[in-house]
Amino acid sequence: MAARAPGSGVLGRLSLPAKFVFGLVLSIVVAALYFVVFFADIDGQISQAQGQQASLQGELAKAEEAKDAFQKDVEEKTRKQALEREQKKVLPDDPEMPAFLAAVQQVATVSGVNLISYRPEDETPEDFYVRVPMSLALRGRFHQIARFFYGVGQLDRVINIEDIEMKIITDASAAPDEVILEVKCLATAFRAKRDTDGAAGAPSGRRRN
């Protein structure tokens, strides 16, 4: 086979400007292929990263919502517990006779009243609660007795003062113009009713000493 003469190929027959244009076109084609192969892969990775970011943002939003819901549940539980504690002060589950007596004695001391005697009485069930009565005997001046009754009404636990009997007594230690009263009354607190308590209005026979 005869050897080709130099410059006998296609490129050899092209003029210098044509060769320049051909080289430019070839460079553009190579660059386009490089862009398609390399940058298309980069674009896919960017799209994937953006999708992951959107997914993470969605999960973060859900986590924030769950956190807010949990915080609301905690606050609601705390509020209910505080309300329950306040309700227990008003209507405890048990008679809590020592606390009952301590509250009465404290009010008597602050009021200047002399608590002569006290005696727990039988509990009496009602429809939704149980009466927890205590007989009291007090001695003091009229304004002290009035202050005592008012102080009992301000206690957290509901205590009714009933069956009040008053009489004037002679007290050698009092001034001639002072009136000393001896008061007998029934202080009645309340507790929550249990299934084991009797019918309404029937004495339970249960006395707390």
182 φ, ψ to 5°? -110, 125
Determine how many CB atoms are found less than 10 A away from the CB of residue 63: 10
Torsional sign, CA 110, 149, 103, 180: positive
pLDDT at 204: 54
Q: Distances from the Cα of 200 to the Cαs of 17, 33, 91, 92, 94, in angstroms?
A: 118, 96, 17, 18, 17
Number of CB atoms found within 10 A of residue 103's CB: 19
pLDDT at 107: 97
Mean pLDDT by 10-residue block, N- to C-terminus, for the chain (209 residues)? 52 68 76 69 78 87 87 83 72 87 96 95 90 95 95 93 92 76 95 78 51
The predicted structure's pLDDT at residue 66: 87
Q: Where are the domains of the chain?
A: 17-89, 97-192
Provide the pLDDT for residue 61: 87
Residues in Cβ contact with 126 at an 8 Å cutoff, skipping those fewer than 6 apart:
193, 200, 201
Find how far residue 4's CA is from the centre of its chain. Answer: 98
Burial class (CB in 10 A: 0-12, 13-18, 19+), 135: middle
d(C-alpha 44, C-alpha 47), whole Å: 5
Extended strands (E) in 49-198? 114-120, 124-125, 129-141, 160-169, 180-192
97-192 belongs to CATH 3.30.70.60 = yes
136, 186 Cβ separation under 8 angstroms = yes
Rounded distance, CA 93 to CA 118, Å? 22
Amino acid at 141: R
Rounded distance between C-alpha atoms, residue 7 and residue 156, angstroms? 115
